[in-house]
């Protein structure tokens, strides 16, 4: 009797028992290195699929190098999702490769099509696939994995919702308390995962054969029995506590490196492109207040020479928008507080446009005009734009803007800036630290994963086991 013909997208998996009761609680963290790499791979996947679209439209062929890349990204994603929350079917850490790994418990193979329809390529990836999008949306939560949303997030939302996520959570709870993964749940989840992957390959233009409306449950494709690893005996788990700790530490380093690299890159960009003609990095806002003065929050400047040099000179500018002469001054916070103790004034919550954090202090008119108060380290007053420059020094400091005549009602365009001469070096330090942290995290993860895959109890294929017997 002839075996039934299989779909050209073959999804295979083995429930890799025994499974850890609690490892699934941290797999989201352990998989972070894969998510990071896959984010870039899926971004490339979009461009590669677009190039394949035009190649098929013109030649009727999917260029083989592009096909190998897209099938490799799908294969890599399937291994990661099988390890994590699309199945939780293995505790064996996924390899970092686009290639097929014959002894890994999750495999994906897609037959290369010698010819593809030029006409179908125009409609199969959206119009013809709509019924499957609806079903896949029920399975994986909105079909986000199939619609390739901008940002290249790949399949990271695969099990974020939908029936797969619910059933995998049920299986995880059962595993936590019993140490066993319920086989009926596994078979049903694999059927849904298989459906999703078939549709993914179809809308990625990798086959013209329409995905069947069929839930082929279980880890083995109907009509085929390719080699798969047999379950490892109890106690032969390659993921020791030390290796898991190394991977977790590496993932934390990788995550931290992203912040360092992003911060360093942002500071370097600001240092190179955002300075004005005077070399100041500035922020500006428009301020209107009903009282007699507008102040900044007290800023504490430590006396460390390196920090003072990093701040450099601070400049405050103010231009009245109502024609009043304007006063600008910077003084020690205690002295300024004494001067304004009985005065109605507003403290800015932010130098940006958001005024929701501003605080109004009740009081009356100032006892003396601002220019006559002896509390200022630097000051300026007059019509038009007034500016003060203050070399940063140790202490607590407050900047104040008032009408020069001490009248009520402030309406100014204010600007604060600093030269920050060390910003470029700070940016370079953050970038170097980020690179070191990224390299350290990658080494920790790579060494742990390499040692875990070289355990003595590597699984054998059924065929090999038969021969040995």
H helix runs in 84-153, sequence order: 130-140
Tell me the pTM.
0.52
Q: Tell me the C-alpha to C-alpha distance, in Å, between residue 413 and each of 316, 318, 363, 390, 410.
A: 11, 6, 24, 19, 10
Order of strands, sheet of 385-391, starting from the edge strand that comes earlier in the sequence: 281-289, 410-418, 313-320, 385-391
Ordered DSSP codes for 146-160: TTT-TTT-TTTTTTS
Task: Tell me whether strands 299-301 and 9-13 are parallel, antiparallel or unpaired.
Answer: unpaired
Q: What is the pLDDT of residues 327-342, one digit of tens each?
A: 999 999 999 999 999 9
Q: What is the pLDDT of residues 151-191, one digit of tens each?
A: 333 443 444 457 888 889 889 989 999 999 999 999 999 99
pLDDT band at 460 (very low <50, low <70, confident <90, very high): very low
Q: What angle do CA 219, 224, 225 make, to 5 degrees?
A: 65
Cβ–Cβ under 8 Å, residues 167 and 85: no
Q: What is the pLDDT of residues 433-458, one digit of tens each?
A: 999 988 887 787 667 656 655 544 44
The candidate with the shortest Cα–Cα distance to 35, out of 185, 159, 200, is 159
Q: Tell me the C-alpha to C-alpha distance, in Å, between residue 236 and each of 17, 375, 433, 453, 463.
A: 11, 75, 38, 12, 21
CATH architecture of residue range(s) 280-418:
Sandwich (2.60)
Task: Compute the distance between CA of residue 302 and CA of residue 280 in angstroms, rounded to an integer.
Answer: 21
Q: What is the pLDDT of residues 103-155, one digit of tens each?
A: 999 999 999 999 999 999 999 988 999 999 988 888 887 544 443 333 333 44
């Amino acid at each position: 009797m002839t075996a039934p013909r299989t779909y050209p997208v073959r999804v295979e998996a083995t429930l890799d028992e025994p499974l850890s009761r609690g490892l699934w609680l941290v797999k989201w963290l352990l998989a972070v290195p894969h998510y990071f790499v896959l984010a870039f791979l899926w971004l490339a996947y979009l461009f590669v699929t677009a190039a394949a679209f035009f190649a098929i439209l013109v030649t009727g062929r999917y260029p083989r190098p592009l096909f190998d890349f897209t099938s490799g990204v799908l294969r890599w994603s399937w291994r990661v999702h099988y390890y994590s929350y699309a199945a939780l079917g293995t505790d064996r850490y996924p390899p970092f490769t686009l290639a097929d790994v014959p002894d890994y418990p999750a495999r994906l193979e897609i037959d290369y099509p010698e010819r593809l329809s030029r006409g179908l390529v125009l409609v199969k990836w959206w119009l013809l696939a709509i019924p499957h999008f609806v079903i896949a949306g029920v399975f994986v939560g909105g079909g986000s994995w199939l619609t390739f949303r901008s940002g290249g997030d790949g399949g990271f939302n695969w099990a974020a919702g939908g029936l797969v996520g619910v059933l995998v959570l049920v299986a995880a709870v059962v595993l936590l308390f019993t140490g066993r993964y319920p086989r009926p749940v596994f078979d049903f989840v694999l059927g849904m995962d298989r459906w999703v992957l078939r549709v993914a390959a179809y809308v990625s233009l990798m086959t013209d054969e329409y995905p069947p409306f069929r839930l082929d449950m279980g880890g083995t494709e109907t009509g085929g029995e390719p080699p798969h690893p047999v379950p490892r005996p109890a106690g032969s788990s390659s993921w020791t506590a030390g290796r898991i700790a190394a991977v977790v530490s590496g993932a934390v380093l990788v995550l931290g490196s992203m912040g360092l690299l992003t911060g360093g890159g942002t500071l370097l960009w600001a240092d190179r492109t955002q300075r004005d003609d005077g070399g100041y990095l500035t922020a500006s806002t428009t301020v209107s207040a009903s009282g007699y003065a507008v102040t900044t929050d007290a800023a504490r400047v430590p006396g460390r020479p390196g920090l003072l040099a990093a701040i450099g000179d601070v400049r405050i500018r103010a231009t009245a928008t109502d024609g009043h002469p304007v006063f600008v001054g910077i003084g020690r916070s205690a002295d300024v507080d004494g001067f304004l103790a009985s005065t109605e004034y507003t403290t800015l919550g932010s130098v940006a446009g958001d005024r929701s954090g501003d605080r109004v202090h009740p009081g009356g008119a100032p006892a003396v005009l601002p220019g006559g108060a002896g509390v200022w380290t630097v000051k300026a007053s007059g019509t038009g734009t007034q500016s003060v420059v203050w070399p940063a020094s140790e202490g607590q400091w407050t900047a104040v803007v008032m009408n020069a005549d001490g009248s009520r009602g402030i309406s100014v365009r204010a600007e604060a800036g600093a030269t920050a001469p060390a910003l470029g070096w700070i940016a370079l330090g953050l970038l170097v630290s980020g690179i070191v942290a990224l390299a350290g995290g990658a080494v920790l993860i790579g060494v742990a994963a390499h040692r875990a895959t070289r355990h003595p109890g590597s699984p054998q294929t059924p065929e090999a086991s038969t021969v040995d017997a």
